[in-house]
Structure 1
Amino acid sequence: MKNYLFHLGVDISKSKLDVNLLNSQTLQSEHFVIDNNPKSIKDFIKKLIKQKIEINNTLFCCENTGIYTNHLSYTLLGLQLDLWIVPAIEIKRSKGISRGKNDKTDAKDISFYSLRNVDKLKLYTLAEIDIQKLKMLYAEREKALKSLLLMETTKENSEFMSKEIYNEVCIINNSLVNNIKKAISKIEKRIKEIIKSNQQLDKQSKLIKSIPGVGEQTSLYFIIATKGFTAFKNWRQFACYSGVAPFEYSSGSSIKGRTKVNHMADKKMKSLLQMCAMTSLKYDPQLKEYYIKKKAEGKNSMLVLNNIRCKLISRVFAVINRETPYINTYKFAS
């Protein structure tokens, strides 16, 4: 692990960046405010170099603020500098008891978090361009589907009002619904084109879909969430990320809570895995037999389904690592 001389905490907002430069040896810090755009960030890096700051021995750390982080991440990685993006809740909980907040103190807290927790460091890497495109298209598809569901509720009014009144919005509503459906079709077509044009993504998609119960949308989201299976070392890490890994809740001899999953998870991935688990009970005899067996033992339905979700994740990572389609060995069992 690199021995960083400086830890630079960045509190990100839409228009500006509050930056705290912390010397890891003297613990002295300096505060800066710069605009949140590539030019200002590059100018700030040049300023640090002029101040004799060893920029290659500096760790940049910030919270994950979605698209507001993009200018910083693209610029720093373009300059081949080390960047660590941490979930906001992790930094918040590491602070202990605190009262009040502002951008300046937040930047300072981030820089001290970086210094104290450098053993947890996982440098940020950008997903390849095609995966970034898929992520944006998938997000647009989700928004379009929500809009479609909302617009289609207008049809319910026809049963509770006169035709004269309903016809005022009927034509407009039908036009909007058709346009949204066309937009969704275009998005899905473009997603398929991107995957097909990328040999690796196309292969990964086919391998994932070879598993009974796993369909088009789930395979796509697996690729997006794992950055093409580069962001997670094994299926257990991804199960934790997806919120299906069980954790023990106990303390001493008196507190023994039931083992359960944690609510901090990728809820979209979790819901997709739930649907896959339900589908696999219809099309996978092995998992169906497992479900029936565990139910007969008195296990809770959701507990068994959660186990199946974990099994599906392990299968996905197995076919990706082997680079061969899923083979149902159950049918060969005597």
Structure 2
Amino acid sequence: MDKEAPAVGIDVSKHKLDVALLVDGKVRSKSVKNSNAGYEELKIWITKQKVVLDECLVCMESTGVYSEPVALGLQALGLTVSIVNPARIKGFGQSELVRNKNDGIDAALIARYCAKMHPEPWQAAPPEQRRLRGLCDRLKALKDMRQQEENRLEAYGTASNTELEGHIQQHVSWLNSQIKQMEHDIDDQINRHPNLKRDADLMASIPGIGKATVAVMLGQVGDMHRFSSAKALAAHLGVSPRQRVSGTSVRGRTTMSRTGNRATRSALYMPAVVASHHNPVLRTFAERLRANGLPKKAVIGAVMRKLVHVMYAVVRSGVAFMPDYLEKRVRGQST
């Protein structure tokens, strides 16, 4: 039997990394700081365990803002890194009947998953995409703050509290200026990079897709050419259908999988609503689904998925949206 490659599982937190090195079925543990110095210390420690770095597999869960900087730092030191959906690690732990949970146990579980499953190496997004994603995240945060303040403004207006109304209105005005500046920065970021600009123009040609949705898709997904098919992209975004049927007794309702990034699904919802009424292709598609008795939310979910297919088609082909051509294909596709 072939000897398994050494595997490193890392449980990432804000200030430290809990590390488990799995070699020949034995686990060795270590904790280092979540910093460049900590990454270097980890590399030296792995080498001291007589592990060849080129043969070592490193795996961690996707933990938002914390996992990507760690992966970039370790890649820069020559380590092969995989970032895995936490649901996969959780499912693997359930298959092993793991009952306890702490940072060290989680790191060892991730190492065992890495050794058994050999996840694909993580590829860092280009710097221009990472910056665009950061700008979009900040824009959403500013808009959320503005909505909160506008809700408070309404509440204080009802209570006739003019002093606080004025204070909140000043903050809303400042947020409006920051949102406008952030939108300008996003447009500038896209326009300064030919690849982003090309894909943005193609996606914007689809009725129902606006600049905000285009920016989120480019920031979160990046180059759509890396996906083998539109179905693969839809699955990545979590807009694919998930069935729950087994034998004769289980007849669950088909729902959206929701396994991908929430930001992209949120960005697709309103465009799907608009497209179901104003996009000549997707309006026909939505009307047919409604005529078949599909609930309103399910229709919107199906239109979201179809929008993803159309975006993939225009980007991969390099040809702007053509309703006459796409209408024939959509009519022939099942829901």
Task: Provide TM-score, normalisation by structure 2.
Answer: 0.89
Which of 239, 243, 247 in structure 1 is aligned with 2:238? 243
Larger radius of gyration: 1
1:237-294 CA distance string (max 9 Å, x none) = 2222333211221222332223222243433322332211221133222322232233
Q: CA deviation at 1:158?
A: 5.6
Q: Gapped runs of 5+ residues in structure 1?
A: none
Structure 2 distance, partners of 1:82, 1:92, is: 22
Structure 1 distance, partners of 2:86, 2:142, is: 28
One-letter amino acid of the structure 2 residue matched with residue 264 of structure 1: T
Q: Gapped runs of 5+ residues in structure 2?
A: 329-335
Instruction: Pick closer, same or farther for the CA change 1:3–1:302 going to 2, 3 Å.
Output: farther
Which residue of structure 2 lines up, in the alignment, with residue 142 of structure 1? 140
Which residue of structure 2 lines up, in the alignment, with residue 110 of structure 1? 110
Instruction: Pick closer, same or farther for the CA change 1:47–1:330 going to 2, 3 Å.
Output: closer
Q: CA deviation at 1:61?
A: 0.6
Q: CA deviation at 1:84?
A: 0.8
Q: CA deviation at 1:159?
A: 4.8
Which residue of structure 2 lines up, in the alignment, with residue 287 of structure 1? 282
One-letter amino acid of the structure 1 residue matched with residue 280 of structure 2: P
- CA contact 2:135–2:182 (8 Å) conserved in 1: yes
Task: Quote the RMSD (CA, aligned, Å).
Answer: 2.3
Structure 2 distance, partners of 1:261, 1:275, is: 16
Which residue of structure 1 lines up, in the alignment, with residue 255 of structure 2? 260
Q: CA deviation at 1:201?
A: 0.3
One-letter amino acid of the structure 1 residue matched with residue 239 of structure 2: V
Aligned to 1:95, the other structure's residue is in SS state helix
Q: CA deviation at 1:185?
A: 0.9
Instruction: Pick closer, same or farther for the CA change 1:89–1:298 going to 2, 3 Å.
Output: closer
- CA contact 2:208–2:279 (8 Å) conserved in 1: yes
Aligned to 1:156, the other structure's residue is in SS state helix
Q: How does 1:126-137 map to 2 (within 5 A)?
A: 126-137=124-135
Aligned residues: 325
Instruction: Pick closer, same or farther for the CA change 1:231–1:11 going to 2, 3 Å.
Output: farther
One-letter amino acid of the structure 1 residue matched with residue 209 of structure 2: V
Instruction: Pick closer, same or farther for the CA change 1:71–1:209 going to 2, 3 Å.
Output: closer
- CA contact 1:18–1:104 (8 Å) conserved in 2: yes
Which of 174, 181, 190 in structure 1 is aligned with 2:176? 181
- CA contact 1:210–1:325 (8 Å) conserved in 2: yes
Aligned to 1:84, the other structure's residue is in SS state strand
| Residue 55 (structure 2) pairs with residue 57 (structure 1) | yes
One-letter amino acid of the structure 2 residue matched with residue 55 of structure 1: L
Which residue of structure 2 lines up, in the alignment, with residue 303 of structure 1? 298
Structure 2 distance, partners of 1:160, 1:221, is: 36
Which residue of structure 2 lines up, in the alignment, with residue 199 of structure 1? 194
Which residue of structure 2 lines up, in the alignment, with residue 209 of structure 1? 204
Instruction: Pick closer, same or farther for the CA change 1:169–1:331 going to 2, 3 Å.
Output: same
- CA contact 1:36–1:71 (8 Å) conserved in 2: no
